[in-house]
Amino acid sequence: MAAIDETGKAYLPVTTIVLKAIRCVSRHYYPPRKNSRVSSTELRSTASVGSSPSGSASRARPITGTHLPAFVFQTGKDLALHAAQIISRLIRERSDLGQSTVLGLPTGSTPVGTYRELIRLYDEQGLDFSNVIIFCLDEFYGIAKDNPQSHRLWLAEHFFNHVNVKQENVHCLDSQVVASDIELHCRRYDDLIQGAGGFDLVLLGIGRNGHIGFNEPFSMRKSRTRLCTLDPITRQGCASDFFGESNVPVQALTVGLSPILAARHVLLLALGEHKAAIVTETLEGVISDRVPASYLQEHVDARALLDLPAAGLLTGISMPWVLEKVEWDEALIKRAVLWLCERSGKSLLKLDDEDFRQHDLHQLLRHHGPAQRIAHRVFRWMQDTIEYHPAGKEKKTCLCFSPHPDDDVISMGGTLIRLVEDGHRVHIAYMTSGNIAVFDHDAHRVADLVTEYNRLFSIDQQKSVEVQQEVHAGLANKVPGQPDHATILKIKSLIRWSEARAGALHVGCGAEDLHFLDLPFYRTGTIAKRPMGEDDTAIIRELLERVQPDQIYVAGDLADPHGTHRVCAEAILSVLGQLQREGKPVPEVMLYRGAWQEYALHEIEIAVPLSPSDIELKREAIFMHESQKDEALFPGSDPREFWQRAEDRNKGTADKYNQIGLPEFFALEAFTRWNGNQI
């Protein structure tokens, strides 16, 4: 329980601090025991600084084997609710004592859900922010304060403007401070934090290189607020926000590690499987300046809140049998045995008892052995995933939801070919225009082409010249990262429309079965999108009720929780939930992956074999998306073209099937079935 010092600030009694310090030091010098568990008391403490809010802790599960207390949540929404409850309880407790609450806050997609929940608590439960002092943790250096990528502006739009925090209590680093004053500005920012009593709570995301704030790899443990040079991985991750990596600032201002680690409480949030590798290194690796987030292992009250994808590579999630006794259900048996194949380099039917013993699978062998029986069981399960007719042989209506205009052919082009060949009627719903992913020069070229076309055929030349001039002027005056003019966005949408149509026709779909939904949530002209709303779900529902599909395909990506794929999937599944509650029939739902990842072997429920000719036809369909070929505007961290990623992934899945002793295929497209839960 907190006590109060003479300044009015709450502090922990010395005995509590000592005990926590001992626990922290022991975590640092001694790796966690295999049978270690986080106590129920510690689990409850994650729900608040003190006690658990009703219903919140039940969604959190402690993860064993980490050097920093970590908890996993079924969904990002549960995590956001949990984090917001911790912050709100801290604010209320300190307010009841007549004290202010000092928060250090980040930007980015990770904390968006937490901010939305805090706004809801303000609107519906009267959470009072009038005595909250907020410090923005970082800012790009050199950009204008009204720039869409400004962290000051971002926090205002996503949080400050929606609650009753006083403007004088909001502090942001000055992105335009003159070079000669940077050191003084940073020192004064540190003084402001110290003058407010230091951070009561710091909310953190984590970069793919382990940065917190903009404390990049090799930042010093005692670093203060300063100007820093951004790591290439960080700039690459910001590229989509600035419409190209070349437009991302090279430097940024950041609160240092020292003020962050001096905070009374720290919450590290991580969402999405693209964070899984660095989360594992942070929570299970050694403390190192190469991974600045690993310094949180030293903190007496820091904890990590993760969704399932972000926690996916942690030992307690991916290989729990090496840490503790587990209940061996079908899913875990499959996962463990396929993992054993990978570790031992053996196919399923070559595994023996000694392989199980040498890889910490004694329990599995004891309860379900011998090895031959277990291996045969998993072999049959995996063999049953191979399906040449993914919708069956009886004629059906199938509907593929494509979040972006090229996701259909990139992710499941071979399966679309197979569905058409099997005689099914195949519809494709393109959920967004994808217009922000078109290069300016492509829009310029099309405007010129249409103008010349109209001139040649004497078609309303005056209007086309006006549009051409508008496009030329808009692109000439465009600042990097600035949203496009409406006319330019229409042309870019038209480019993606024509490419999607050509690709779908190439795999055999009919033009009348292509549906361009252009969902409203996407129409911002920027990377940041609006939350999915009722107008979006109404469009999806109308399509489902009109087409009446027997089977649908949905992009089930688990990367960015606020990315287009995840948002679209959640909207589709919410509509299906509505129909189900109303007693209406719902189709079979198959989930596919996007251009970035493939399902792990143990997750695959349907694997569709593809021949060399299928792959060639799929490649040609991808080539129809000319604006995304050679070099895409948002290629991510993978330098390969989309068709190369797709082929490598499909061939890679086939290789994995071959390695475990199943038939050798040229390529495979993988799917899972929706189990009715949130993704």
**pLDDT tens, 308-357?**
999 999 999 999 999 999 999 999 999 999 999 999 999 999 999 999 99
Q: Where are the domains of the chain?
A: 3-317, 326-383, 397-434+502-673
Query: Is residue 216 among the annotated active site residues?
Result: yes
* Helix axes 612-623 and 407-421, enclosed angle (nearest 10): 130
Label residues 262-285 b or e (16+ Cβ within 10 Å = b): ebbbbbbbbbbbbbbebbbbbbbb
Three-class DSSP labels, 65-92:
CCCCCEEEECCHHHHHHHHHHHHHHHHH
- CA nearest 147: which of 264, 67, 248? 248
Cβ atoms of 584 and 653 within 8 Å: the answer is: no
Whether 270 shows a pLDDT value over 50: the answer reads yes
Report d(CA 434, CA 529) in Å as an integer. 12
List all residues 6 or more positions away from 421 whose beta carbon is below 8 Å from its beta carbon.
508
CATH architecture label of 397-434+502-673:
3-Layer(aba) Sandwich (3.40)
Residue spans of alpha helices (H) in 97-181: 112-125, 151-158
* pLDDT score at 483: 80
* pLDDT score at 428: 99
The whole model's pTM is what?
0.86
Residue 321: other Cβ atoms inside 10 A: 20
Q: Which residues pair with 78 in a beta bridge?
A: none
Cβ atoms of 561 and 679 within 8 Å: the answer is: no
* pLDDT score at 58: 47
Q: Return the percentage of the chain with pLDDT > 70, whole number.
A: 89
pLDDT tier for residue 594 given thresholds of 50, 70 and 90: confident
Whether 467 shows a pLDDT value over 50: the answer reads yes
pLDDT tier for residue 636 given thresholds of 50, 70 and 90: low
Whether 192 shows a pLDDT value over 50: the answer reads yes
Report d(CA 674, CA 679) in Å as an integer. 9
- CA nearest 519: which of 405, 427, 432, 401? 432
How much is the average pLDDT of 455-478? 89
* pLDDT score at 530: 80
**pLDDT tens, 151-181?**
999 999 999 999 999 999 999 999 999 999 9
List all residues 6 or more positions away from 591 whose beta carbon is below 8 Å from its beta carbon.
553, 554, 555, 556, 569, 671, 672, 673, 674, 679
List all residues 6 or more positions away from 203 whose beta carbon is below 8 Å from its beta carbon.
83, 87, 103, 104, 105, 106, 111, 114, 267, 269
Residue spans of alpha helices (H) in 144-299: 151-158, 182-195, 232-238, 257-261, 276-284
The Cα-based distances of 190 to 154, 172, 184 in angstroms read 22, 12, 10
Catalytic residue, from 117, 216, 570, 647: name it.
Answer: 216
- Same CATH topology for 3-317 and 397-434+502-673: the answer is yes
Report d(CA 554, CA 571) in Å as an integer. 11
**pLDDT tens, 407-454?**
999 999 999 999 999 999 999 999 999 998 899 999 999 999 999 999
The Cα-based distances of 90 to 52, 71, 298, 304, 642 in angstroms read 12, 19, 22, 17, 47
Whether 55 shows a pLDDT value over 60: the answer reads no
Report d(CA 121, CA 635) in Å as an integer. 38
How much is the average pLDDT of 281-294? 98
- Helix H or strand E encompassing 571: helix 564-581
Whether 17 shows a pLDDT value over 60: the answer reads no
* pLDDT score at 199: 98
* pLDDT score at 245: 86
**pLDDT tens, 559-582?**
655 588 888 999 999 999 999 999
Q: Looking up tokens 């907020």, which residue turns up? A: 134
Whether 39 shows a pLDDT value over 50: the answer reads no
SS3 assignment, position 377: helix
List all residues 6 or more positions away from 434 whose beta carbon is below 8 Å from its beta carbon.
404, 405, 406, 493, 496
Q: Which residues pair with 252 in a beta bridge?
A: 140, 228
Whether 25 shows a pLDDT value over 50: the answer reads no
The region of weakest confidence among 223-227, 239-243, 401-405 is: 239-243
How much is the average pLDDT of 297-305? 97
CATH architecture label of 3-317:
3-Layer(aba) Sandwich (3.40)
Question: What mean pLDDT value characterizes the chain?
Answer: 89
Residue 507: other Cβ atoms inside 10 A: 26
* AA identity, residue 457: F
Cβ atoms of 224 and 190 within 8 Å: the answer is: yes
* pLDDT score at 454: 92
